Amino acid sequence: MALLAALPAWSHNTVAASPELFFQAGKIRTLILSGRNNHDWRATTPFIRKALENTGRFDVRVTDEPAGLSPAAVAPYDLFILNYCGPRWGPEAERAIGEAVRSGKGLVVIHAASYPFGDMEVLARGHGRTGIREKPWKEYFEMTGAKWTEGPPRSGHGKRHVFEVRIIDRQHPITAGLAPAFDISDELYHRLILKDGVHILATAYSDPKTNGTGRDEPVLWTLRYGRGRVFHTILGHDLGAMYSTGFVTTLARGAEWAATGKVTLPAEIQPRPRKQNPVRVELVIGGHDFAPSLMSVFESWNDVETNVVWQPDAYKKGRMERADVIVQYDMAQTITEEAKANLRRHLEEGKGLVVLHHALASYQDWRWWWKEVTGALYVLEGTPGRPPSTFRHGVPLITHTVADHPITRGVPEMYIVDETYKNMWFSPGIQVLIRTADPSSDGPLVWIGPYRKARVAVIQLGHGPEAHRHPHFRKLVRNAILWAARRQP
């Protein structure tokens, strides 16, 4: 009994004191406070998280129940981001955040979080009225440097529109090196009560034509609270406002400054970062219809850049020279001798090939192709002694990995609903990686082709959305592309 009672206390202390076991080393430990908002937090909170993580500078967590925060829960974090507009959290959570910031941790306040905890009515989901007014949390105003008021004059904003945000302090670490202004489609708040001494970094002209005040209104500011640093942006009404270089750049740099007092991030940060040294894929389609969900497979990776080409033009000169890997999802029969020569040259240069699904029925009259390269053929028209291949849609399959290979790494046995082929021709030179025992299939589902000058991977799966959206199918295709490109999956 004594031992059991002692154990939880001992392990709790050890783990709570060791956040390095659970966070990425050297990154700013960030907690987004979300889950209540008159705005669409379900869309914007994941965006904020991703935008910050994309910079490589932040390890980000989210709580949708800030009212449950305690000193122990906030202890591991360097930075808190408020994407919150709702009721008060109660004494323990409010004290935990207030003390954390006062003791030197960073705080970022985004758009909706300018509004709560003051004199205004609590707003519900979708800007709904509640009729509820709570006792103000006075410290919140001191900490964030602004509050909304019923007035007069009343705080608010004009019509949502595109306006120019002008940087008025270009020496501050957050804004140093930035362009002097940026445009954004957002709400421009006006007539907020600002705490004396806040440091305004940027303003925008609030145009009476869009129901504005005719004055420059503050957009970005900083302040100190105790030993903590606070960055406040009134931008970020919705995903469309956030999906802009100006928003993401100032948010990420403001967040880095709030947490560390310094800014190392670049002066321009894209909402979706450019791919670094990506594998260049030519995705060949045409000759067979397909579900558009196929395209989502190729949209899901940061290190693969895909260009889509249609048959019969896919292998024309000037089209495919830049490709590291050709991925075939076409079902073309007659391709020109020039196309064959170009495709052959791609392989002879040691570049990669991934053959997906119905591309196994392509180029039936090009024997070298299916005998020596892919090692298999879906036979469209039978000949004496060789019946045509058959297919079946919507088969619930269990797959078995039969070889340890970079392509199968991280891909467990799958349960997947997909189309199967049977009575295909196979070369004895293929190396099968994944099979199924389903009687509607010949068995092999993933294999390596017999060709030796280039890496050739074949995946028979991939008919429709059930496969295209299956995380392990995606992983298979990604592994095959990276392996064919001679990269590490």
- Piece in contact with Zn ion (CB under 5 A), picked from 185-193, 264-272, 376-384, 445-453: 185-193
By rule CB under 5 A, what string of x and - marks binding of each residue 48-67 to Zn ion? --------------------
Helix (H) / strand (E) element for 246: namely helix 245-260
Q: Tell me the window of 141-149, 186-194, 215-223, 481-489 that interacts with Zn ion (CB under 5 A).
A: 186-194
State which residue, 172 or 237, has the beta carbon closest to Zn ion: 237
Task: Quote the CA–CA distance of 107 and 144 in Å, as a whole number.
Answer: 8
Considering only 29, 237, 463, 474, the residue that binds Zn ion (CB under 5 A) is 237
What minimum distance in Å lies between the beta carbon of 238 and Zn ion? 7
Give the sign of the dihedral formed by CA 132, CA 135, CA 140, CA 141. positive
By CB under 5 A, what part of segment 371-430 binds Zn ion? none
Query: Residue 141: enclosing H or E segment and its boundaries?
Result: helix 138-144
Q: Of 40 and 99, which has the nearer Cβ to Zn ion?
A: 40
Q: What are phi and psi of 319, to 5 degrees?
A: -95, -40
CB of 81 to Zn ion, least distance (A): 16
Closest CB 187 distance from Zn ion, rounded Å: 5
Q: Is 442 in the site for Zn ion (CB under 5 A)?
A: no
Q: Please, which residue, 41 or 421, has the CB nearer to Zn ion?
A: 41
- Closest distance to Zn ion from the beta carbon of 199 (Å): 23
Q: How far apart are CA 354 and CA 363, in angstroms?
A: 15
Q: How far is the CB of 319 from Zn ion (least distance, A)?
A: 46
Q: Please tell me the distance from the alpha carbon of residue 402 to that of residue 399, in angstroms, as a whole number.
A: 9
Give the distance from CA 146 to its chain's centroid: 32
Q: How far is the CB of 85 from Zn ion (least distance, A)?
A: 9
Maximal CA-CA distance, the chain: 92
> How many Å apart are CA 202 and CA 232, to the nearest integer?
11
Asked whether the beta carbons of 414 and 475 are under 8 A apart, the reply is: no
Nearer to Zn ion, 85 or 467 (CB): 85
Strand residue runs (E) in 382-430: 390-401, 415-422, 425-426
The residue with its CB nearest to Zn ion is 237
- CA distances to 27, 99, 161, 263 from 218, in Å: 30, 27, 16, 22
Let me know: does 264 contact 257? Beta carbons within 8 Å: no
For the window 201-230, what string marks contact with Zn ion as x by the rule CB under 5 A?
A: ------------------------------
- In whole angstroms, the minimum distance from the beta carbon of 168 to Zn ion comes to 23
Interaction of residue 187 with Zn ion, rule CB under 5 A: yes
Binding site for Zn ion (CB under 5 A): 187, 237
